[in-house]
């Protein structure tokens, strides 16, 4: 009985003290090692100068976001992009969006103002007031000796730009082929969005494959002529060809595979291959910034398939295999505020306050924006939490997740409070 009473007293009085002591050690370590970022906006980059040493041997910086619906994320990431471009010679910005849409829209950026370029390039979640200054910056730099090139890696369409461009482009050379592309692309995209039944959708995809094959033949048979017609745009034909190859591969799954959401894994692999193609073929001597969701840049895979089976390999894994230490992944989180839910089309509050999680750790820091390097860290007093699964919040990953910071990213940036962006539509 006395032994039982002693154990009970130990649990009641001693263990909470140990837990409190551990929490204080973790806070002391984090406060000492976190680097404050002074502001979300502005062209005084003195508070970001510490990145020059951390990124000096890096060719590809990947900057994530735990949600596509936070205004402060768009502002901060835009400022990071401008800093990396101006101060560290990163000259290509790859944004999570359609390969055909962004690459072709940028190729023809001289025909559009900044807002049109934004609408023609990216998904709806990026079309907001906070994002527009970045497109204005890219437009202003386009005619300079050191432009910031915009590019996209996604096999999904993020706008109608590529499809409309291809129809108009082909009309100059082959009106019948242009009409077939217009009808079949519209039909296939409509049926793919609705997925009414396997027969209709798969028939449309098979027809579209034949149409795309004809376009590919046209490109091959007329490539020299097209290069003469567009001497200032040597990447035009390679961009069109690869965008069409993306369509073919993304729609290659059977109806059951689509119904089981297996295109999620296929999409991530294609995006990784497109990012590598941009780095190796389109812009082989350029340093690159990749702007995407945390889930697409992470090297720790936490996703599961529809049956609950862990997905072993996603985009971040492919990219790390290709670039190794030359890629640097920055995960971006918030501890609370409001986020725009794109599926619900509304702003909703959230708070990341799970015990021992990202929000709980960073919310105690005195500054509103903090950077913490994870690369090179080793377990030790006050920082063991970096090496175990802890709670975090990623809206598009279902909300609350479990992730291991040191396995998932090279660094973290955490913003204390965010709100929904101001959308134009």
Please write the tens of the pLDDT for every residue from 12-27.
Answer: 555 455 567 878 899 9
201 in a structural domain: yes
Domain final position from 262, 290, 317 = 262
Please give the average per-residue pLDDT across 47-76, as a whole number: 98
235, 335: one domain:
no
The pLDDT tens digits for 42-57 are 999 999 999 999 999 9
> Where residue 1 falls among pLDDT bands split at 50, 70, 90?
low
How far lies 256's CA from each of 206, 265, 311, in Å? 16, 15, 18
- Residue 199 pLDDT exceeds 90: no
Does any domain span residue 20?
A: no
| Distance of alpha carbon 236 from the chain centroid | 24
| Mean pLDDT over each residue of the chain, to the nearest integer | 92
Q: Which domain holds residue 139?
A: 39-157+280-418
The verdict on 257 and 224 lying in the same domain is yes
Does 348 reside within a domain? yes
Please tell me whether residues 251 and 309 are part of one structural domain: no
284 plus 406 within the same structural domain: yes
**Which own/partner pairs from 268-271 qualify as long-range (CB within 8 Å, at least 24 positions apart)?**
268/296, 268/314, 268/315, 268/318, 269/313, 269/314, 269/315, 269/318, 270/155, 270/246, 271/96, 271/153, 271/154, 271/155, 271/296, 271/315
Determine, yes or no, domain membership for 275: no
Q: Could you report the per-residue pLDDT of 208-240, keeping only the tens digit for each?
A: 899 999 999 999 999 999 999 999 999 999 999
323 and 407 housed in the same domain: yes
Residue 147 has pLDDT above 50, yes or no: yes
Query: pLDDT by residue (tens digit) across 265-300?
Result: 899 999 999 999 999 999 999 999 999 999 999 999
Number of domains within the chain? 2
- 403 and 300 Cβ atoms separated by less than 8 Å: yes
247 with 306, same domain: the answer is: no
Give yes or no: residues 285 and 409 share one domain: yes
User: Where a domain ends, among 213, 229, 262?
Assistant: 262
Place of tokens 């090179």: 376
Per-residue pLDDT, 16: 59
Same domain, 101 and 234: no
Residue 14 within a domain: no
- The first and second tokens of residue 119, run together, are 């609408």
> Residues 135-151: what's their mean pLDDT?
96
What pLDDT score does 195 carry?
64
Residues 138 and 178 reside in one and the same domain: no
**Do 153 and 177 sit in the same domain of this protein?**
no
Share of the chain above pLDDT 70, in %: 93
Q: pLDDT per residue over 84-105, tens digit each?
A: 999 999 999 999 999 999 999 9
Q: Which of 262, 289, 320 is the last residue of a domain?
A: 262
Q: Identify whether 328 is part of a domain.
A: yes
User: What mean pLDDT comes out for the span 141-152?
Assistant: 96
Predicted confidence (pLDDT) at residue 8 exceeds the cutoff of 60: no
Domain identity same for 62 and 197: no
pLDDT, position 190: 79
For position 78, which CATH number holds?
Answer: 3.40.1660.10
Q: Are 240 and 219 in contact (CB under 8 A)?
A: yes
The average pLDDT across 380-394 equals: 96
Per-residue pLDDT, 15: 47
Q: Is 117 part of a structural domain of the chain? A: yes
Neighbours of 259 (CB within 10 A): 13
Share of the chain above pLDDT 90, in %: 80
**Residue 58 belongs to some domain of the structure:** yes
188 and 174 co-located in one domain? yes
Q: How confident is the model at residue 303 (pLDDT cuts 50, 70, 90)?
A: confident
Q: CB count, 10 Å around CB of 243?
A: 24
pLDDT tens digits, residue range 152-186?
Answer: 999 999 999 999 999 999 999 999 999 999 998 88
């Amino acid at each position: 009985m006395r032994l039982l009473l002693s154990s009970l007293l130990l649990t009641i009085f001693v263990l909470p003290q140990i837990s409190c002591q551990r929490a204080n050690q973790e806070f002391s370590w984090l406060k000492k090692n976190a680097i404050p970022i002074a502001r979300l906006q502005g062209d005084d980059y003195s508070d970001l100068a510490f990145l020059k040493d951390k990124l000096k041997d890096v060719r590809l910086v990947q900057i994530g976001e735990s949600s596509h619906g936070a205004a402060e994320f768009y502002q901060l990431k835009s400022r990071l992009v401008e800093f990396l471009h101006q101060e560290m010679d990163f000259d290509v910005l790859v944004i999570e969006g359609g390969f055909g849409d962004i690459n072709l829209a940028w190729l023809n950026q001289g025909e559009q103002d900044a807002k049109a370029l934004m609408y023609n390039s990216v998904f709806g979640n990026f079309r907001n007031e906070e994002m527009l200054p970045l497109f204005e910056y890219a437009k202003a730099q386009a005619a300079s000796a050191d432009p910031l090139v915009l590019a996209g890696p996604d096999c999904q369409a993020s706008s109608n730009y590529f499809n409309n461009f291809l129809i108009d482009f082909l009309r100059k050379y082959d009106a019948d082929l242009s009409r077939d592309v217009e009808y079949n692309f519209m039909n296939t995209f409509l049926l793919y969005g609705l997925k009414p039944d396997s027969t209709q959708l798969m028939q449309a995809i098979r027809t579209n494959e034949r149409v795309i094959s004809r376009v590919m033949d046209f490109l091959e048979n007329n490539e020299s002529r097209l290069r003469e017609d567009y001497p200032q745009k040597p990447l035009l034909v390679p961009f069109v060809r690869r965008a069409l190859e993306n369509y073919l591969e993304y729609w290659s799954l059977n109806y059951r595979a689509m119904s089981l959401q297996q295109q999620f894994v296929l999409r991530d692999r294609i995006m990784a291959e497109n990012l590598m193609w941009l780095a190796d073929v389109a812009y082989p001597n350029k340093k690159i910034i990749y702007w995407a969701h945390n889930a697409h840049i992470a090297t720790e895979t936490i996703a599961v398939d529809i049956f609950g089976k862990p997905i072993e390999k996603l985009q971040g894994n492919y990219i790390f295999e290709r670039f190794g230490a030359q890629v640097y992944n920055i995960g971006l989180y918030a501890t609370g505020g409001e986020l725009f839910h794109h599926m619900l089309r509304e702003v909703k509050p959230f708070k990341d306050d799970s015990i021992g999680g990202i929000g709980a750790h960073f919310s105690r820091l005195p500054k509103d924006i903090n950077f913490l390097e994870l690369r090179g860290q080793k377990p030790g007093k006050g920082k063991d939490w970096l090496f175990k699964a802890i709670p975090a919040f990623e809206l598009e990953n279902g909300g609350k997740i479990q992730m291991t910071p040191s396995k998932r990213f090279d660094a973290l940036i955490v913003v204390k409070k965010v709100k929904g962006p101001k959308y134009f539509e």
